[in-house]
Structure 1
Amino acid sequence: MPNLSLLKNRLSRAAWKRVVVVLLICAPFSGFAQYWQAGGFIGTSNYSGDLVQTKVDLKYTRFALGVFVKRDINRYLTIRGGLSYGRIAGADSTNRDTFLLKRNLSFRSPIWEGQLGFEFNFLDLDEKKITPYVFASVALFSFYPTTKDSLGNTVNLRPLGTEGQGLAAYPTRKEYNLRQISIPFGAGVKILLTENWIAGFEFGLRKTFTDYLDDVSLTYVDRNTLVRTRGQKAANFAYRGDEVTLGSHVTPGTYPADGTTRGSDKYKDWYIFSGFTLSYRFGGGSNAHNNWKRQKVSQCPRF
């Protein structure tokens, strides 16, 4: 009687050998008609953090622009790199939560981002003319939170140290870095308009490792210490509840005691870019489009 376990192992090894042979045969042709893409992005930017009551406040949607370059490794995998610019903003005054209304803070910030990553296409774009895709990248971005005073003048928030950053009395609170790493990821869909032009729409989240996109994270520091070391202006913009208008159902407040909750560092801040893309496809060798089509039907053996 044959040994079924031994036979199964031999069949498994034979199957794996066949897969390896197929991959070795196909591998040289996976880059046979590699395309380059160069294009642009136009859309919107949003923010999620301590100054919004919901995950995202669409009232503070701002514009975003970008350029990118892509390299098709094969029909399904693409390397992507790009530069993007957007603006994010938020304000307590548009929320309904009493705590946020009393705090009365606001911010705005530019976002500059450079990213490098991969796309995975679910369908063959040349065959189907349309494909959904997902992407993941690593990015370096910069930000600079500011706000407006009661006269409409721009005020830079980081130099004020509104939560005691850089003060000897609060040694654990360091000045936050304005250049940070983020992890962009998301999904989109693209359409092959012609052999060379590709249009699409993309939605991308950005996970950051900072809680200071909005200059808010922890607790209030002692007001007198803040005034003595950073000036009255720092205290004025650490808490703006005394500026609440008389017409509001929230009465003006006074600067909270040292250690009172100002924000929450439980979750880091996020930013979001979404919008439309248009790119021009080129390269891939002579007659690349037809070569790639022939490659798919004739070069790789089938099981």
Structure 2
Amino acid sequence: MTLCVHSLSAQYYFYDNERLEPAVLWEAGVSVGAMNCFTDLGGKKGVGKGFIKDLNGQHYNFAGGFYVGALYHQTIGGRLEATFGRVSASDNVLEGDMGAAKGRYMRNLHFRSKIAELALLAEFHPLTLFQSMAKEPSYFSPYIVGGIGVFHFNPEAFNGYTWVALQPLRTEGQGFPQYPDRRPYRLTQVNFPLGIGVKYEVSALLNARLEIVHRILNTDYLDDVSKQYIDPTLFSENLSHEAAAQAVKLADRRQELDPSVVTTEGSIRGDPKHKDAYFTIQFKLSLSIGRTRRVKF
């Protein structure tokens, strides 16, 4: 004899009919994939475009992480997720374009930065609302995801023999009394993840996901580039001798390609009208926690 249990909060697991489905299903998993960014540096050749149209595929970097979460009736859920990766960009990807992108190539700047992020996310699986109308629920469940996070970054540039942190060099005069409107940017800030994904139930205990999440940022200094060049003599007035020497070299690198270039205060270095951003494309593998075997007699 088989004991059958039916309630508002549980039903038989629809794959093997051997496990009960709780109202709240917990999940713990890991993520692996790639990270890339949208900043003032690099981009595609030609006239600069907006958002994904300007994405250059040469700067994908590894990203990974782990998460725990819960899903209510397979429809609405939340999770806490840690993600670690790296972003980078360089104007030298535009080499050979002597047309519309020549100015960006001649700017000759680059950066890299490690990213450490902790995010609280909500997800919604819309197709589960229509499962009662189907003969059998689908193994696949597309969903949308969004929330709020905290991330840490620290842009660096290579000075010819080592990588140097750029934020302490105040490359655009941040914090200098001569530029009272330019405050030093914080290396730990809030972001707003937003993305889409698809979940596949491999078994009663194992889930696989493919997810793309874009991070909306409130900073234009992910790459340490935003506004205009400053008078290079101000570095020695506001920084130590060693830091000033590094700042002069790394704030304006056009002379490395054209020694005749003279730094002019107020000339364009970046575009402050658009904030920076980064995103991940990740494969996720997780264990479902809470499905219990049905009792048989």
TM class by shorter-chain length?
Answer: 0.7 to 0.9
Give the SS at the match of 2:58: helix
Matches within 5 A, 1:211-290: 211-230=220-239, 231-244=244-257, 251-283=258-290, 286-287=292-293
Give the SS at the match of 2:24: coil
Task: Return the match for 1:210 from 216, 219, 228.
Answer: 219
Moved more, 95-104 or 137-146: 95-104
Q: Which structure 2 segments of 5+ residues have no match?
A: 1-6, 11-20, 45-53
**Change over 3 Å in CA distance of 1:29–1:255 after alignment to 2:** farther
Give the equivalent residue in structure 2 for 1:5: none
Give the equivalent residue in structure 1 for 2:149: 139
Residue 28 of structure 1, CA deviation: 6.6
Q: Write out per-residue CA displacement over residues 126-153 of structure 1, whole angstroms, 9 at most, x where no aligned residue.
A: 82111111101100001000011123x1
Identity in percent: 32
Q: Write out per-residue CA displacement over residues 92-136 of structure 1, whole angstroms, 9 at most, x where no aligned residue.
A: 111231111111011000010000021111333982111111101
Give the equivalent residue in structure 1 for 2:14: none
Matches within 5 A, 1:41-52: 41-52=31-42
Matches within 5 A, 1:100-111: 100-111=104-115
CA distance in 2, matches of 1:165, 1:234: 12
Structure with more of its chain in helix, by fraction? 1
CA distance in 2, matches of 1:149, 1:183: 33
Say what the alpha-carbon RMSD is for the aligned residues.
2.1
Answer yes or no: is the 8 Å Cα contact 1:44–1:275 preserved in 2: yes
Q: Write out per-residue CA displacement over residues 26-67 of structure 1, whole angstroms, 9 at most, x where no aligned residue.
A: x97499531100000000000101002343221011000010
Q: Which structure 1 segments of 5+ residues have no match?
A: 1-26, 245-250, 291-303
Count the aligned residue pairs.
255
Answer yes or no: is the 8 Å Cα contact 1:42–1:276 preserved in 2: yes
Q: Write out per-residue CA displacement over residues 238-288 of structure 1, whole angstroms, 9 at most, x where no aligned residue.
A: 0001112xxxxxx4442421111110111100001111000000115x448
One-letter code aligned to 2:256: E
- Name the TM-score, length of structure 1 as normaliser: 0.79
Greater Rg over alpha carbons, structure: 1
Residue 163 of structure 1, CA deviation: 0.1
Matches within 5 A, 1:11-30: 29=9
One-letter code aligned to 1:91: S
| Structure 1 outlier segments of 4+, above 3 Å | 27-32
CA distance in 2, matches of 1:253, 1:99: 15
Give the SS at the match of 1:278: strand
Residue 80 of structure 1, CA deviation: 1.4
Answer yes or no: is the 8 Å Cα contact 2:22–2:290 preserved in 1: no
CA distance in 2, matches of 1:253, 1:93: 19
